[in-house]
Structure 1
Amino acid sequence: MLEVIDKGALSERHPAPLLFVHGAWHAAWCWDEHFLSFFADEGYRALAVSLRGHGGSSTSKPLRICSVADYVEDVASVADNLPRRPVVIGHSMGGFVVQKYLESNDAPAAVLMASTPPRGYLGSGLRWMKRHPWDFARVAMTGRSLAYVSTPRLARERFFCAHTPDSHVSKYATRLQEESTRAAVDGLLNLPRPRRVTTTLLVLGAGNDGSVTAREVHATAHAYRTQAEIFPNMGHDMMLESGWPAVAERIHSWLGTQGL
């Protein structure tokens, strides 16, 4: 069973539902803090899924061997049970999952937020190894990564900018959970194929992102034949940072230009 947080309702103004897909170590809760209510109040039906083994979603096999293909199946299972094809919105690893989903599924539009680029996790992995070689070695040996992202200091480095209040960083760090080792390997080997994607995409990035560089965001946009937009003074978790309303407003306005 998948946990799905569902707010709002379809309207004539916004006929397509919005399906939000979280990144690594997160779950549907990260969208429920601000985004779901914002879009519901604007007349959308907004849903967030917790991928299997995350949040309140169960898994029939150990989380460590859940694959990106499993996560794509989760997104498809929710999308297929909606009355209309949803706009899919993915953050970080969730953006990677959305890219793989779009290879074989139609969507009226899609949004990538601070997404893992089509080249996968290589760049972020090398940066992690350079900054924290011993932590990276322990993750490689044990397959367990939560301890190396979930302290307030490490969570800020990876997910939040320097201006985010300590209380917010500490609060969200306690909600992070373990991630799949197999999905991390897929992020190196089972890469997206942008040429298979025909959906129109909005690509957004954060100027102070400790996980995905602006250069990688621009490369993602180029691969999908569009232009990236970078929000300054914002960390990786764009839906949780204090500047989140600007991001939500940009998505809302862009969906309007798509007739959605």
Structure 2
Amino acid sequence: MKLELISKYPARESPAPPLLFVHGAWHGAWCWDVHFLDFCAANGFEAHALSLRGHGQSEGHDKLRWTGIASYVEDVAAVAGRMARPPIVIGHSMGGFVVQTYLETRAAPAGVLVAAVPPTGFLPGLLRAARRHPWIFSKTQLTQDPYHFVATPELAREVLFSAGMSDALVETYWRQLQNESFLAFLSACIGRPRPTRVKSPMLVLGGGADATILPSEVQATARAYGTTAQIFPATAHDMMLEPKWRDVANAILAFAKTIAGTPDPRAPNVS
């Protein structure tokens, strides 16, 4: 399986573990490449973002509808296995669900969950969406196509972006969204990752303005992993693309530097 991998490297080789970013539903590696990959490389970390099968430039688009979470976990394992050192794995939204499942059976220096589907699944979020848009919910079930939830820039803003995001940027990002696996979407609703099996240290982040994964759900996820969530005010679901993305990136870098054992846990604010 050919998988797209976008990689950025620091000016000097570092003994720190690399960072491996995993996107969520409707996205691809591109969403991390807008800001995060160069930012992390400028701060001394090797940074990689993969497109899961059926996404971006990866193979598997023809079988996307019935691709399951287990296949996405295999993709993460395949990419991580090719790296010289085990990476810190960072997952957004459904990608956070994938990362949680991956860490149940695989060792990693650490994991980071960014507005991630909680261990209890996405069913409460789906029911909220069904109440807001019953016709879209019905179309999704009838056509087995979750793209209906983000089929217009207005819907994409509601699901992914904050009021502070310009209309022009929303449209730019919306044009890069794509279809998502119906099977993976269902699995994320009813699946149950097992936090007690995860031995890696975890960082859990959420957005205070996220209408898709509520702050209370992020806090519950953090409790399940024995840690405390960091909630970023006025930040919506696509935390890596939001206007205050640097705050999110700096939190990840601070955590990664602590894991790497560097003396200064604060990441400089590199533009």
TM class by smaller structure = over 0.9
Partner of 1:243: 244
Corresponding position of 1:45 = 46
Deviation string 1:164-216 (CA, Å, 9 cap, x unpaired) is 11111010011100000110121133310111001100000001002100010
Residue in 1 that maps onto 2:154 = 153
Match of 1:132 in 2: 133
**SS at structure 2 position matched to 1:103:** helix
Deviates more, 1:84-93 or 1:181-190: 181-190
CA contact (8 A) 2:55 2:61 kept: no
Provide the residue aligned with 1:25 in structure 2. Answer: 26
Equivalent in the alignment of 1:66: 67
* Alignment correspondent of 2:206: 205
Residue correspondence of structure 1 range 48-197 to structure 2 within 5 A: 48-59=49-60, 62-197=63-198
Moved more, 3-12 or 138-147: 3-12
Count of residues in Structure 1 that have an aligned counterpart in Structure 2: 260
Asked if the contact 2:146/2:185 (under 8 Å) is kept, the reply is no
CA distance in 2 between counterparts of 1:249 and 1:148 reads 30
Q: Which runs of 4+ in 1 moved over 6 A?
A: none
Residue 8 of structure 2 corresponds to which residue in structure 1? 7
C-alpha displacement of 1:147: 3.3
Structure 1 residues without counterparts, runs of 5 or longer: none
Per the TM alignment, residue 232 of structure 1 is displaced from its structure 2 partner at its CA by: 0.2
Deviations 1:12-52 (A, max 9, x none): 65521100000000000000000000001111110000000
Separation in 2, partners of 1:114, 1:242: 16
Matches of 2:144 and 2:9, distance apart in 1: 39
Q: What letter corresponds to residue 248 of structure 1 in structure 2?
A: A
Do the aligned partners of 1:9 and 1:43 also contact (CA within 8 Å) in 2? yes
Provide TM-score, normalisation by structure 2.
0.93
2:85 & 2:106 partners in 1: Cα distance? 13
The 1-side partners of 2:149 and 2:93 are apart by 17
Q: Distance in 2 between matches of 1:120 and 1:251?
A: 24
Show the counterpart of 2:267. none
Verify the 8 A CA contact 2:10 2:43 in the aligned structure 1: no
Aligned residue for 1:5, secondary structure, equals strand
- Please state whether the residue corresponding to 1:30 is helix, strand or coil: helix
Query: CA 1:11–1:101 in structure 2 vs 1: closer, same or farther (change >3 Å)?
Result: farther
